[in-house]
Structure 1
Amino acid sequence: MPTIINVALDLWFVARLGWGVAGAAIATVTAQSVSAIICAIKVSRYEMFRLQRRHFKLNRILLSEYFSLSIPMLLQSFVIASGGLFVQKHINNYGSNFAAGMSASEKIFIMIETSGIALSPSAAAFVSQNYGAKQFDRIRQGVRSAVIISLCFAVFSSTLLFLFGRQILALFVASDAIKFAWSSLCVT
């Protein structure tokens, strides 16, 4: 949901109002804030998620387990974010049209990627439940179905981008940046 809100606000703030980088930043912060508020409202409806004083008591065993699991994830995120900063620094050296083109292609890629990634948790839950029930035939059938759905979506989105990619990119960036965005999408 925040991706859709972000894209819509980007179109409004950047393309329609001409706010540039500031508009893109405002769109991102607004989209993430709306998403956080909606999540907080939904979660607060359930008693088990309401915070109470007893929830803040430290459990040293759990705390050490959490740290042992979270440190590798933290390091991985740090390395990925550092790499992103390095890449962004070099993208910025090529000028604003190049940076705008890369940003537009990244937004389209994220929309496509998010749709594909959304299938993973449901497939994982399906496999876990059937593994617990020892229904291995259903696991094979479920994995096969997930792969087929993913392939169909990949073919559909690739065809859509191949046929209408430049027009879709024109919604996000000026004509000067489209060639950079299109090149980036073709590589991705």
Structure 2
Amino acid sequence: MITKLPPLVVMGVSGCGKSTVGALLGERLGVPFFDGDDFHPAANKAKMASGTPLNDEDRAPWLAEIGAALATPSDAARSNIIACSALKRSYRDLLRSFVPGLVFVHLSGAEATISGRISGRAHEYMPSSLLASQLATLEPLGTDEAHIPVDILGDPATLVDGIVRELERS
């Protein structure tokens, strides 16, 4: 049983299943789930829709909004879960500056698997052409970063079961 749930960021590149797994995890744990995509300003969405990757300057205000949301769960909630790519260590450090006890649930898998998922879906503004730039930007989590690594092979419910088991152990 989880006695104190830390704030969680379900992270990874586009197409890895952040929104699906995050929503299921929030439902399972009884805490609010938010999709980080909803925090992007219109300018970021337009830039990505044009096939141009975001840079650090584009991401900074977006990450600050996510950090603030993580730091202020609703009165009834013990925690929040937010899906956010969190590709670089500096991005994760910024999020942790809002919530020092933040835990990252890192969804990862083979590029071919993720590419296949992206090609089979329609996304409002994230074209499949940006996957390569996200994979190039992704920095591995350090041993000093609280995280749960998750291989995306398997159905989302099974992945959530594994995440919950890891949270119960910690």
Q: Which has the higher helix share?
A: 1
Q: TM-score, normalization: structure 2?
A: 0.27
Structure with higher RCO (Cα < 8 A, 6+ apart): 2
Q: Which has the higher strand share?
A: 2
Q: TM-score, normalization: structure 1?
A: 0.25
